[in-house]
Structure 1
Amino acid sequence: MDSVPENAPEHCPGTDSDAAGKASACAGCPNQNICASGETKAPDPDIDAVKERLSTIKHKILILSGKGGVGKSTMTAMLARALALDDSKEVGVLDIDICGPSQPRVLGAEEEKVHSSGTGWSPIYVSENLAVMSIGFLLNSPDDAVIWRGPKKNGMIKQFVRDVDWGSLDYLLVDTPPGTSDEHLSITQYLSAAPPVAAVIVTTPQEVALLDVRKEITFCRKVNIPIIGIVENMTTFVCPKCKVETAIFPATTGGGTQLAIDAELPLLGQLVLDPRVARACDNGTNFLLDEPDAPASLAFKNVAQKIREYFETQ
């Protein structure tokens, strides 16, 4: 995979390409000289250790959007819980939202602390077959702010993929921050060292979200990450009292349905906005077990089934 710098021109050939710094698209790029010098091509000395660690994880799934506030963390946790309903499967959640880690709270493990052993950091188990790792476990307080520049955040992500002793997993879901920047380049570089890896793109119906989500799709295609499909979150709100369904975020340009058509990707599901899901995430409880027949629960389970089917056909 050719790594693409954060501030690269639109048609950047990537730092690993023989055309790095020499292509016409490189003209005017602030990274042109260093790319042309070949200094960016030095292999990461830890890539073999990362590859060995990740070799025991069958399927790696990036939960991406490009837009904040569309429900990536909720989606990650709910899909992980849905996949873990199968007791024969081992599931992990890696939270690489360094500045805004949510998974400890969402998965009900906020009070836990990470332990280390001779084989590395031990993830926190929220059930017998569902584990999670997050920088949130390393902070002294949930109110502590992580005020780091890119290189230090990237170093933390490397530690997560190199030093966490996940054991054998069937699925590792990665909760990502918004954007297409440092964290995304780092995690795709490391996960691509031990395929298969694929992405689920999360959006909401309104155009302001779709603008950023389209950029995320472009990012995946530039770095050669296959996309399983698109999930539209918060499609409608169903009142728990009167059952009236309302489109709070109108799909003025067709929403996730039209985006999936335009991008030639599967629409994995459209999820209702259910306040009980938000309450369960705040309390760290398992909504899928508490409300197994709720429309939201059925939708999450359906998306999880489509993810399973995707990997079975690869």
Structure 2
Amino acid sequence: MAERIVKEAQVPFDLGGSRFDQIATELFSDYSRSRIQSWIKEGVLKVDGKITKPKEKLFGGETVSLDIVIEAQEDHEAQEMDLDVVYEDDDIMIVNKPAGLVVHPAVGNRDGTLMNAILHHAPETAHIPRAGIVHRLDKETTGLMVVAKTLAAQTDLVAQLQERSMGREYEAISIGVMTGGGVVDEPIGRHPHNRQKQAVEPVNGKDAVTHYRLVERFKNHTHIRLKLETGRTHQIRVHMAFIQYPLVGDPQYGGRLKMPKACSPELQDELRHFRRQALHAKKLELSHPITGEWMQWEIDLPEDMQKLLEALKKDMVESGSNDSEYF
């Protein structure tokens, strides 16, 4: 099923002397600059009914018109799947992603992904790049994600991410006992020897900033809250491993499981069977892309992380240590 977009606007005289692509971006601000430029090159965005070059200057008073048919993304199948929708309106959807769910289809995961589920739940997203998904979580990371249901919403949400105005907070359980919170400001890039991993790369990496603070401290672990300024691939996992506090259950950045000395059988069992990184996207806040209203959502930790925290607390008590410390 295709969607047709028909729009028209007159060029204000105070924009006279500016380039066509710049004026069109101003007039049709619901859409990104790159999308506007591609429509001009395709000849579907015209000036007074004529195909015009992007760099051509306009005088003011001309009529800019858009008439385009957007085809659905045929290569991705809509699939009926369980989808935990926390909030939804005509423009956005907030979902709580479970562990084990891949966000985008890829080699080896052509179906059964979050994108397939979104295409079934909200068929209108078939006309939006990546079905409206504007940011991602790793397969084994749980928690909140925002999905755009219109092109205008997607453009605005992407801008919020780029401007770092969208708030994203996570909770995690790290290996090791931290003495306090802090900031990791280290660039991240592709690992020089392992293409499947990321690493702190001072020369070729992109800027990455992670703020972390203590929630609760145990004998050999720390429950932490983290806030991102940037959104690099595996950012939290890489940064925590870099400062020697890798996440529980993260074989990619935390290495082989090492059982703490003298820990209870219950805790040993929980650690041995915790097969994913203990990371949860707990809080999301943003400006609604259409109304401008500031909105926020917060979701409880998943059951596996709650059980691990309970085992850590119990281990403190049974060992005769002082109660876990709260911050």
TM-score bracket, normalised by the shorter chain, equals under 0.3
Name the structure, 1 or 2, with higher relative contact order (CA <8 Å, separation 6+).
1
Instruction: Look at both structures and tell me which one has the larger radius of gyration over its CA atoms.
Output: 2
Q: If each structure's helix is expressed as a fraction of its own residues, which one has the higher value?
A: 1
Q: Normalising by the residue count of structure 2, what TM-score does the alignment of the two structures yield? A: 0.24
Q: If each structure's strand is expressed as a fraction of its own residues, which one has the higher value?
A: 2
